[in-house]
Structure 1
Amino acid sequence: MKDELLRLDRQVCFAVHATSRALDGVYRRELAELGLTYPQYLVMLVLWEHQPAAGDPPLTLKRLGQALRLDSGTLSPLLKRLEAAGLVRRDRDTRDERSLHVRLTPAGAALRARARKVPERVFAATGLDESELTHLRQVLARVTTALDAEAAI
């Protein structure tokens, strides 16, 4: 029985990895017409979700990294490419040069309307119904929380 535990098809990590790669393929196809990679799409999702109202401070690089679970070394090249594409703007905080603000440009904000169909198409590609997909997200969130706690020990 113990040898059974070493089979590839018994590994949770591989099931998650294989699913992630399959999802990446669907996202790659769907995002091609938006001109975004999957990591860039994730950045845009956070920026669309956290658009500051007039007078509110913009999202910082630090908060963006926390939301995406990415360090600044990984996030900075993504933002440079999004900035070169005219979708975001990065500005140093005038009060604290160490802090970098990230803002959507008008083109970046407008891209949101075209991106609305992406989640629907990915949802359809999963073959799951809405309750199954909700349950899957909940289970994955619990697993992530448990693994984060374990890694912190």
Structure 2
Amino acid sequence: MTETTDPLALERQVCFALSIASRSVIGLYRPLLQPLGLTHPQYLAMLALWQHEPLSVKELGELLQLDPGTLSPLLKRLQALGYIHRERNSKDERALAVTLTPAGRQLRAEAEKIPPAIVARLGMDLDELHDLHRALMRVIAATRGTNAPEPQDA
């Protein structure tokens, strides 16, 4: 492919590279998540709960940056799988609390195999992946008009 200076050339578009990269990386997760009975969005919800449980539906939506119309059916499916409970918060009856079931907690042990498998499938070293993560967090922050958060682990 020849280098082009056309500002509208497909291969020069950040949105194109991000779109292809996103679909490709999520595709790597699919066969790893299938034995757990999870989709990628459900996996992200479980990651948030393993780290921050209990969470209100609102807090979970904010963490995952999902609207209630997307999050509610996702949570219903996780509940049907037996991984979570959704119940009214005893301190605030207006809020729904999301907690893990024993099966949801046990699932974490299987899920711990996923990150190293993804790293191996990507064939990139950890420093490269951390740099990519930091760059993506800067892109996300820039699209929201905020400063990028400092990485939690480096």
Q: State the TM-score, normalized to the length of structure 1.
A: 0.89
Q: CA deviation at 1:24?
A: 1.4
CA RMSD of aligned residues (A): 1.5
Partner of residue 112 from structure 1, selected from 88, 100, 108 = 108
> Partner of 2:7: helix, strand, or coil?
helix
Match of 1:29 in 2: 31
> Partner of 2:6: helix, strand, or coil?
helix
Q: State the TM-score, normalized to the length of structure 2.
A: 0.88
Match of 1:86 in 2: 82
Find the aligned partners of 2:104 and 2:111 in 1 and give their Cα distance.
Answer: 11
Find the aligned partners of 1:127 and 1:19 in 2 and give their Cα distance.
Answer: 14
> Partner of 2:43: helix, strand, or coil?
helix
In the alignment, does 2:19 pair up with 1:17?
yes
Q: Which amino acid aligns with 2:43?
A: Y
Find the aligned partners of 2:114 and 2:5 in 1 and give their Cα distance.
Answer: 42
Aligned-pair identity in percent equals 52
1:78-124 deviation per Cα after TM superposition (whole angstroms, max 9, x unaligned): 00000001000000123433211000000000000011110111111
Return 5+ residue gaps in structure 1 as ranges: 52-57
Moved over 4 A (4+): none
Considering Cα pairs closer than 8 Å and 6+ residues apart, tell me whether 1 or 2 has the greater RCO: 1
Q: Which amino acid aligns with 1:62?
A: K
> Partner of 2:97: helix, strand, or coil?
strand
Find the aligned partners of 2:10 and 2:120 in 1 and give their Cα distance.
Answer: 28
Find the aligned partners of 1:23 and 1:3 in 2 and give their Cα distance.
Answer: 28
Q: Which piece of structure 1 moves more, 87-96 or 107-116?
A: 87-96
Find the aligned partners of 2:41 and 2:144 in 1 and give their Cα distance.
Answer: 21
Alignment of 1:67-106 (within 5 A): 67-106=63-102
1:44-102 deviation per Cα after TM superposition (whole angstroms, max 9, x unaligned): 00000113xxxxxx311111111101111110000000000100000012343321100
For this pair of structures, how many residues does the alignment match? 143
Find the aligned partners of 2:137 and 2:106 in 1 and give their Cα distance.
Answer: 30
Match of 2:44 in 1: 42
Return 5+ residue gaps in structure 2 as ranges: 147-154
1:25-53 deviation per Cα after TM superposition (whole angstroms, max 9, x unaligned): 111111011110000000000000113xx
Q: Which amino acid aligns with 1:31?
A: L
Q: CA deviation at 1:9?
A: 0.5
